[in-house]
Each structure stands twice: as C-alpha cells, then as structure tokens.
C-alpha cells in the first residue's frame, strides 16, 4: 500500500514537471499577439502636425458643448487621440478644462470630427467664448514593438 502511494506521488510529480516544461516552452517560443502587433503611445511633445479647426462652443446650464474637426498632417496613422480642451471667458480668463478620448482612427492626411461636453463652474458669471484644443497623447498601431516614432518625418 505504501509503495502504491509513492508510485502515485512520483507519477503525479512527473506529470506536473512535464506540464511545466511544455508551458515554459510555449511561453518563450510561441509568438504572442502582443509581439506581432502593439500599440505605441506618443506623448504631447511628439504628436505634431495635427490641426484643430471649426471649433464651436455651445453653452448649456452647467456644461459647455464643444465640437470641431481634426486634420492629420503627419505621416502617422493614429488609432486614438486624447485631447485636452481649455475653456476661456470673454476676458481671456481660464474657466475650466476637460479631456476627451477620440477613439476613431485618424489616418495620415485624414480629417475627423469630434464632439464632447465639459462641466463648468456653477458660479461662473461670464460667458465661455473660446477653447484651446491640444493633444495630450496619441496612439498608433505598429507591427514591430518598441519602435521609436518621430511624427515629423
């Protein structure tokens, strides 16, 4: 009986070791989707040649609706963009700020319309008349991971 127990223990240990070896071999030698296709996030300093135009502001009760158009003048194709919108009143005083994620693709040379809303302070007495739109981060699709990207070239 004791020999059956030891035999079963060794059999289970051998099976566990073989599963571990196959798992490690699969992990190290099998290509994962991340190794063939990855996202690269491009920070503000590198995201250039994006132009925002036709920015319109519609003021609501406690929020402002902002819409506009983005044109990609770079050679990169963006899969998403994180933009920051700064709102100013009629005296050019800063009022509020919000962020918006554009999840649609913006290919090189392409245009994209966006629309979002920003909360504004309830005690604001002046009217919001202007908005400054800028990109915080862009996401591009890449076939080769860890590639350094320059949007100017």
Digit-coded pLDDT (tens) for 83-101: 999 988 888 889 889 999 9
Q: What is the mean pLDDT of residues 32-44?
A: 54
Selection from 91, 62, 83, 90 nearest residue 132 by Cα: 83
**Three-state DSSP class for residue 107:** coil
The DSSP line for 66-104 is EEEEEEE-SSPPEEEEEEEEEEEETTS-EEEEEEEEE-S
Both tokens of 126, joined, read 């002046």
Confidence of residue 146 (pLDDT cuts 50, 70, 90): very low
Report the percentage of the chain scoring pLDDT > 70.
78
Model pTM greater than 0.85? no
Instruction: Write down the mean pLDDT value for the chain.
Output: 79
């Amino acid at each position: 009986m004791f020999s059956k127990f030891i035999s079963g223990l060794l059999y289970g240990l051998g099976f566990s070791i073989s599963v571990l070896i196959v798992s490690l071999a699969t992990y190290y030698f099998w290509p994962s989707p991340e190794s063939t296709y990855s996202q690269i996030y491009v920070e503000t300093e590198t995201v250039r040649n994006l132009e925002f135009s036709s920015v319109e502001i519609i003021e609501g009760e406690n929020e402002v609706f902002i819409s506009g158009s983005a044109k990609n003048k770079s050679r990169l194709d963006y899969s998403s963009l994180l933009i920051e919108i700064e709102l100013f009143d009629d005296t050019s005083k800063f009022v509020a700020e919000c962020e918006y994620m554009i999840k649609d693709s913006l290919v090189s040379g392409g245009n994209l319309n966006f629309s979002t809303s920003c909360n504004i302070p309830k005690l604001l007495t002046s009217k919001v008349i202007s908005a400054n739109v800028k990109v915080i981060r862009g996401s591009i699709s890449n076939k080769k991971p860890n590639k350094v990207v320059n949007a100017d070239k």
